[in-house]
Homo-oligomer: A and B are copies of this chain.
Amino acid sequence: MPVPAPILYPPFNIVRLSHVDYAVTDLARSRAFYADTLGLRITQEDPDAIYLRAMEERGHHCMILRQADTACVNLLAFKVFAEDDLDKAAAWFAAQNLSPTWVERPYQGRTLAVKDPWGMPLEFYAAMDRLPSIHQNYALYAGVKPLRIEHFNMFSADVDAAVAFYNQMGFKVTEYTEDEDTGRVWAAWMDRKGGVHDIAFTNGTGPRLHHTAFWVPTPLNIIDLLDLMSTTGWIANIERGPGRHGISNAFFLYVLDPDGHRIEIYCSDYQTIDPDHEPIRWDLKDPQRQTLWGAPAPRSWFEEGSVFADCPTTQSDMKAQPIIAP
């Protein structure tokens, strides 16, 4: 098998992905997209930044939007199980020569910042301000019903190496795509929280963020979003879908925020909580890998992504190509 076995007792315990911090060039326009259209709830707002959470989340934020001159991704954050997991993480990253630092973040307890070996900015915390539950305040739902942040998907110029590194951190591979000719992994989906993924890596110029995903309860919520976006001036921001991925079995839609940050709205993946859960292998040439129903993704979907702050990118040397829509 070209993917590593899961590390059952990792050096520190990551519970789940937590939040993304986006630099955006027009905060009001991003607010219109994320709050008024996608339906995320604003938990804090000032002239420079907006914090949002999804409807079932108790943590203070799953997304931070910061006004900036240039759009990028400031960081990806993860929640660890307990305070001492932060110390274990600091020790482990230091042992990898990665120079972790402690940073101050509002609404969070102790927070550890580190760049992964390719320069991707990560943060870890154990405690975040907790808010009252609102998932049964049904008057707050507009049509789309984003319930929780679900996963990050990254371009990587060396997916095999990224998988090996993140596997050491305790992420287990649930599905992967192999290039049959070379035996290299073209893409991999890796989880901590017991679904198909908290993070995924796809071959391409990287590191870049391909998308952040939010979970909704049914395909009809995704259809509602399509109807809403296409009749309120956001039609050009619909990139791909709706469809069902072969990988993960998710019903998906990809939309672009005003800066081109890609968001997936997603439902219906499956539980992978068993430590002996076997990964599913897909062949890069299988047309049902991308879309179970056969429609290929557009070129933009394979090529465009969000750069990370202060993080140079490298082109992949992998020649294999997925099927791309003409």
Contact = CB atoms under 8 A, between A and B. Distances in A.
A218 to B, nearest CB: 5
A242 interface: yes
Interface string A226-239: 11111110011010
B251 A223 contact: yes
Contact of A270 (B81, B147, B268): B147
Contact of A238 (B218, B223, B294): B294
Contacts of A292: 136, 226-227, 230-231
Interface stretch (A92-100, A113-121, A138-146, A157-165): A138-146
Contacts of A271: 56, 148, 193
Secondary structure class of chain A's binding surface, majority of residues: loop
Contacts of A60: none
A277 interface: yes
Contacts of A106: none
B135 A270 contact: yes
A59 B274 CA distance: 9
Contacts of A242: 242
B275 A15 contact: yes
A16 B272 CA distance: 11
Contact of A15 (B135, B251, B273): B273
Contacts of A268: 217
A127 B276 contact: yes
Q: With a 10 A CB-CB cut-off, give which of A15, A138, A238 has the most chain B CB atoms.
A: A138
A68 interface: no
B278 A58 contact: yes
Contacts of A127: 276
A136 B58 contact: no
Contacts of A223: 219, 244, 251
A277 B58 contact: yes
A7 interface: no
Contacts of A148: 270-271
A249 interface: yes
A288 B137 CA distance: 13
A107 interface: no
A102 interface: no
The 3 A-B pairs at the shortest CB distance, nearest first, are namely A138-B227, A56-B270, A138-B231
22 contacts: A56-B271, A59-B274, A79-B274, A135-B270, A136-B249, A137-B231, A138-B228, A139-B231, A139-B232, A148-B270, A193-B271, A217-B268, A218-B220, A223-B244, A223-B251, A226-B292, A230-B244, A230-B293, A230-B294, A231-B292, A242-B242, A326-B326
Given A194-B273, A227-B244, 6 more contacts: A8-B82, A16-B274, A58-B278, A136-B231, A217-B268, A235-B293
